[in-house]
A and B are shown apart, each in its own frame.
Chain A
Amino acid sequence: MTIPSQFTEPAQSSEPSAGETMTTAIPEELVQSPSLEAKATAGAPAPVISVQNLWKVFGANADGVPRSEELRALPRKELKQRTGCVAAVCDLSFDVAPGEVFVVMGLSGSGKSTLVRCLTRLIEPTAGRVLFKGDDILQANERSLRELRRHNIAMVFQHFGLLPHRRVADNVSYGLEIRGAGKKERSQRAAEVIDLVGLSGYESSFPDQLSGGMQQRVGLARALAGDPEVLLFDEPFSALDPLIRRDMQNEVIRLHHEVGKTMVFITHDLSEALKLGDRILIMRDGRLVQVGTGAELVGAPADDYVRDFVREVPRSHVLTLRWIMRPVQPDDQLDGPEFGPEVVVREAVRAVLESERPIKVVEDGRLLGVVGNAEILAVVAES
């Protein structure tokens, strides 16, 4: 499921030693810097969605805020005091690679919902660019925007947003109906996706006859019915109770395996983020704090905010061997078992503890470092 992220690989050779903070948050200038874009096009597939310097400001004269050098820099609170405007999303930039599950995380009010709605202009952004496969969505006219929503990007909502007067099958095929598909095609496709999300047998139920988890499956099926390239999720499972939530998370993982869609997933639940996300973007007060894989956030939090966020996470479940290995020392005996650098610590614990010698971390035949009992115990003890 994991597709390597192109932009944020941890510094490979320099070991992350204690005391030295590693900042993996991409400086915003870097994202637009030609060199990086060039790298993206050369080395990896072009991003499906590219967000560049996106702003959403609520209030009168909102347009003025991103334009003014002075106002741009103000923290949200001061801006509110000075102008009465609320900056929900400030100068945000990131790319989403094809097939990636990109998670946006932040506390309540940090602007996540606003951000995800700006992607298809359910909320009109104030400034910036949102490129979908290279075309700027913000320049699209009403018609092509509608086409984009009908065919390319679909969304799943926190409170499902189902139509209570329609049966499950009609809810699922509503998107197809809107774009003028025939009845036969609609019912056929609806049956397919209903089966895909495991709701067979409920086609003719009404939404309020279903449990919350099942309703969200309907929401999921509705989004999948139009076979979009990108799925957006706005906290889809936070209205569900924990067990159902876990079911649904597994469902999303399964679907991602089966249909391989690009997903942008909003959540405020870190364990959900770590479970689903290839990469995670952390927001605070509308601004980007850090983007990176789960291991990067845990191993090298950009600041105290992120550190606080990830404090409760069992590090051994997230960190990979790359993060804890140490350089080879002359007296190391190098005949222990070999592991890849992306193996999660937890999975290597047994091997390390059972082996007499440190294990070797090897990538493409190159020995990157070794992991011994001391390193393992340091991580396990911490979590």
Chain B
Amino acid sequence: MTSIALVRTGIRPFRGAIVTALLLVWLVGFTVLHGQDTLALGAADTTPLHGRLNDLNDAVGANRNSNPLFLYFFNEIRLVVDQLTTFISSLVSQPAFGRPVPLIGWLGVVALVGFGSWALGNLKVGLLAAAGFTFMGLQGLWQQSMDTFALTLSAVLVALLVGIPLGIWAGVSDRVNRIVTPVLDFMQTMPTFVYLAPLTLVFLIGPASAVIATLIYAAPPVIRIAAHGIRQSPKETLEAAQSLGATRSQTLRQVMLPLAKRTIVIGVNQTIMAALSMVTIAALIDAPGLGRVVLRSLQSLDVGTAFNAGLSIVIMAIVFDRVTTAASVRVERARRTTSRIPARVRKVALLVGGAVTAVCLYLSYTFVWAAEFPTDFDVGSPISRAASAVTDWAQLHLSALTSDFKELVTNSLLNPFQSLLTDSPWWLLFAVLVGIAAVAGSVRTAVTTALCLALIVGTGLWFDAMTTLAATLVATVAVMALGLVLGVWMGRSVRVDRVIRPVLDAAQTMPSFVYLVPFVALFAASRFTGIAAAVVYAAPVAIKIIADGIAAVSPTTMEAATAAGSSSWQVITKVQLPMSLGTLALAMNQGLIYVLSMVVVGGLVGGGALGYDVVAGFRQNALFGKGLAAGLAIVLLGIMLDRITQSVASRAQATTDHVRH
């Protein structure tokens, strides 16, 4: 019980006092200086910096084919990626080789995907994959689905080709690991959105850029997880191999890789999921596919069609996830003959399946009926009509509820808070934020924060950045509230955990884009819509982290508290939460990063601010520079929030560790 007393003493009250004082100063300053020095900038206005970025864009455009850097480097990359993408597209999605249809028609693709999933995973996921792909076609989205599939496939191929060796290298070499880790950490805090603008600057708009953005976004998970898998090899097993005289390469091939195989496959899963998510968002830079359908119909508020496309994306995500998970289980079990189906039976069945697939491939190459997805059974329109009907109904009957709720949150929480951030003089807010960073974190955190804020001022988008920050903070508060309630519940009961966790896992595999669809249906396009989507998008991560933290509190301590006569509420507030402070801070860190990445996507559906600036930059040439600057501002916000919450987390972790020992 002494441990509990310790958490509550310490130096926190002192810090709390300073933070309170800072907030008071801010409030007073806000009331007095309201509306001065807000650095507001109109939606179509630009600063000289934006103009210079535009010039840069033009200059790049003019010199694309003469500058050696482009000629021999960027253009080459673009060319290779473009050829790969074109090749894969010509296989499944685009007419090619003088044919009016792709080489492989729908029947061939369905058979191949089903067979491949069966071979890599099991029969169940094989059927799931075939059914899933067929369903996409039945929705009338075969062409778009195949475009998405082809882009994802291209990006994943390259990401794995580069990522797995790099990850293994980082696993084997401490030095490489030290270099790679901070880069990956940084990349992971960046919202998907901000990859796009700089890439279009270099690689133009279109599928090639989309694939490059996707592979940059999708490679880190597999690098990180592969490195982790290699590093995890038990030290004594490595020593045993070494003591038998194994060379380094023998150790790598015969010990490390087989042991890390399963982990690496999990990394592949993560990479595929990230790639799908990015490919759909890359619709913003003109990538073809399902993302484009979602984007267009969101803009025209055609919820029915958006729902069709969103559903196809979700199904594709589920198929990818299930198949790779089944594959990793197979990898694990491959060494066992204890599978239910004898290996020989499976081999024969696979041979037969392979033959059938070959026949399907041939048919789909030769006959139109097997090449073009039949339009006789249209399940897309009914689904889309149903979705529209539900939306209409909801807007008619629930609008009292939803719009009241929306108005309530917007007027009582969002608006005042946003005004507090945006209508304060920038220098006041600047000082307060740096002060909070210094108190909550360290001098170093304060310096980073000051630097980020100064650069944000420099981007000329202070006002928009503060709007985005306000939305992000409001959403994060909601995420943490959800996380605390559900996380504590799950952490305290294994049964609840077992029910909720799969739902959260499934939610996490969904590309961020599709989260917007139901919220647009419910709340129409508004600032609130983006925030609500961000809360739901970020909640699973926070809930899971908190649940794990609560569950990790040592049973002995809990027993001691219970034995001392604490009620459940007392156990939660005096033992479990204080002892999971580090975890809570970590959950907040992750929650913030997820929220930020979704809040900016919300720019598409009325969220305004930085997200809108980025999107507008893609649409209008004159706003390109501003969009680029907005992307930069998002990155800076992300770094700032990450650093502050991380230093809070490490401080909290230190206190908790201190207590736990």
Known: A178-B250, A206-B335, A206-B336. A161 touches B245 (CB 8 A): no
Q: Are B240 and A178 in contact (CB under 8 A)?
A: no
Contacts of B245 in A (CB 8 A): 146-151, 175, 178-179
Bound CA span A177–B247, Å: 12
Interface string of B521-557 (1 = CB under 8 A from A): 0000000000000000000000000000000000000
Smallest CB separation, A90 vs chain B (Å): 23
Known: A159-B236, A162-B237. A154 touches B258 (CB 8 A): no
Contacts of A179 in B (CB 8 A): 245
* B242 on the A face (CB < 8 A): yes
Bound CA span A163–B241, Å: 9
Chain A residue with minimal CB distance to B337? A204
Q: Which of B240, B241, B255, B336 has the largest count of A CB atoms less than 10 A from its CB?
A: B240
* B482 on the A face (CB < 8 A): no
* B243 on the A face (CB < 8 A): yes
Q: Are B237 and A161 in contact (CB under 8 A)?
A: yes
* B259 on the A face (CB < 8 A): yes
Smallest CB separation, A159 vs chain B (Å): 5
Contacts of A117 in B (CB 8 A): 239
Known: A163-B255, A206-B335. A174 touches B244 (CB 8 A): yes
Q: Are B247 and A161 in contact (CB under 8 A)?
A: no
Q: Are A120 and B243 in contact (CB under 8 A)?
A: yes
Contacts of B239 in A (CB 8 A): 117, 122, 155, 157, 161
Partner of B244, one of A150, A158, A166, A206: A150
Smallest CB separation, A152 vs chain B (Å): 10
Interface string of B225-240 (1 = CB under 8 A from A): 0000000001011111
Contacts of A146 in B (CB 8 A): 245, 247
Contacts of A151 in B (CB 8 A): 245
Known: A146-B245, A154-B243, A222-B244. A165 touches B258 (CB 8 A): yes
Contacts of B236 in A (CB 8 A): 157-161
* A164 on the B face (CB < 8 A): yes
Known: A178-B250, A206-B335, A206-B336. A162 touches B244 (CB 8 A): no
Smallest CB separation, A313 vs chain B (Å): 31
Residues of A205-229 contacting chain B, CB below 8 A: 206, 219, 222, 226
Contacts of B246 in A (CB 8 A): 178
Smallest CB separation, B175 vs chain A (Å): 17
Interface string of B246-261 (1 = CB under 8 A from A): 1100100011001100
Residues of A298-349 contacting chain B, CB below 8 A: none
Bound CA span A290–B502, Å: 61
Chain A residue with minimal CB distance to B331? A165
Known: A149-B242, A154-B244, A222-B244. A165 touches B250 (CB 8 A): no
Smallest CB separation, B233 vs chain A (Å): 10
Bound CA span A149–B247, Å: 11
Bound CA span A162–B243, Å: 12
Smallest CB separation, B532 vs chain A (Å): 47
Smallest CB separation, A170 vs chain B (Å): 10
Bound CA span A159–B235, Å: 10
Q: Are A149 and B335 in contact (CB under 8 A)?
A: no
Residues of B172-187 contacting chain A, CB below 8 A: none
Q: Which of A120, A158, A165, A177 has the largest count of B CB atoms less than 10 A from its CB?
A: A165
Contacts of B241 in A (CB 8 A): 163, 174, 178
Which applies to chain B's interface (DSSP): helix, strand, loop or mixed?
A: helix
Bound CA span A164–B244, Å: 16
Bound CA span A148–B96, Å: 61
Q: Are A157 and B240 in contact (CB under 8 A)?
A: yes
Contacts of A164 in B (CB 8 A): 259
Smallest CB separation, A238 vs chain B (Å): 13
Bound CA span A296–B239, Å: 35
Q: Are A161 and B336 in contact (CB under 8 A)?
A: no
Chain A residue with minimal CB distance to B246? A178
Q: Which of A161, A162, A177 has the largest count of B CB atoms less than 10 A from its CB?
A: A161
Bound CA span A163–B242, Å: 13
Q: Are B255 and A149 in contact (CB under 8 A)?
A: no
Contacts of B335 in A (CB 8 A): 165-166, 206
Bound CA span A206–B178, Å: 36
Chain A residue with minimal CB distance to B258? A165
Interface string of B457-484 (1 = CB under 8 A from A): 0000000000000000000000000000
Smallest CB separation, B544 vs chain A (Å): 28
Q: Are A165 and B247 in contact (CB under 8 A)?
A: no
Bound CA span A226–B243, Å: 12
Q: Are B234 and A161 in contact (CB under 8 A)?
A: yes
Chain B residue with minimal CB distance to A142? B247
Chain A residue with minimal CB distance to B336? A206
Contacts of A163 in B (CB 8 A): 237, 241, 254-255, 258-259
Known: A179-B245, A206-B335. A161 touches B259 (CB 8 A): no
Contacts of A157 in B (CB 8 A): 236, 239-240
Q: Are B240 and A162 in contact (CB under 8 A)?
A: yes
Chain A residue with minimal CB distance to B335? A165
Q: Which of B237, B245, B258 has the largest count of A CB atoms less than 10 A from its CB?
A: B245
Bound CA span A158–B152, Å: 47
Bound CA span A190–B236, Å: 22
Q: Are B240 and A165 in contact (CB under 8 A)?
A: no
Q: Are A149 and B259 in contact (CB under 8 A)?
A: no
Interface string of B199-242 (1 = CB under 8 A from A): 00000000000000000000000000000000000101111111
Chain B residue with minimal CB distance to A232? B243
Q: Are B244 and A226 in contact (CB under 8 A)?
A: yes
Smallest CB separation, A208 vs chain B (Å): 10
Contacts of B255 in A (CB 8 A): 163
Chain B residue with minimal CB distance to A178? B246
Smallest CB separation, A105 vs chain B (Å): 21
Bound CA span A154–B246, Å: 12
Bound CA span A166–B250, Å: 15
Bound CA span A174–B255, Å: 10
Contacts of A232 in B (CB 8 A): 243
Contacts of A178 in B (CB 8 A): 241, 244-247, 250, 254
Q: Are A165 and B244 in contact (CB under 8 A)?
A: no
Bound CA span A159–B240, Å: 10
Bound CA span A28–B601, Å: 74
Q: Are B242 and A122 in contact (CB under 8 A)?
A: yes
Residues of A115-159 contacting chain B, CB below 8 A: 117, 120, 122, 146-151, 153-155, 157-159
Smallest CB separation, A220 vs chain B (Å): 12
Bound CA span A153–B245, Å: 10
Contacts of B258 in A (CB 8 A): 163, 165
Bound CA span A174–B238, Å: 13
Chain A residue with minimal CB distance to B262? A165
Bound CA span A149–B244, Å: 5
Bound CA span A313–B144, Å: 81
Smallest CB separation, A4 vs chain B (Å): 30
Bound CA span A169–B29, Å: 77
Smallest CB separation, A130 vs chain B (Å): 15
Bound CA span A206–B250, Å: 21
Chain A residue with minimal CB distance to B251? A178
Contacts of B240 in A (CB 8 A): 155, 157, 161-162, 219, 222
Contacts of A175 in B (CB 8 A): 244-245
Contacts of A150 in B (CB 8 A): 244-245
Smallest CB separation, B252 vs chain A (Å): 13
Smallest CB separation, A196 vs chain B (Å): 18
Bound CA span A149–B245, Å: 5
Chain B residue with minimal CB distance to A175? B244
**19 examples of A-B residue contacts, CB within 8 angstroms:** A120-B243, A146-B245, A146-B247, A147-B245, A149-B244, A150-B244, A157-B240, A158-B236, A161-B234, A161-B239, A162-B240, A164-B259, A165-B259, A166-B335, A174-B254, A178-B244, A178-B247, A206-B335, A222-B240
Q: 15 other contacts beyond A120-B243, A157-B240, A174-B254, with CB at 8 A cut-off?
A: A117-B239, A122-B239, A146-B245, A148-B245, A159-B236, A161-B240, A162-B240, A163-B254, A166-B335, A175-B245, A177-B254, A178-B244, A178-B246, A178-B247, A222-B240
The 7 closest A-B pairs by CB, nearest first: A161-B240, A150-B245, A149-B245, A161-B236, A175-B244, A155-B243, A146-B245
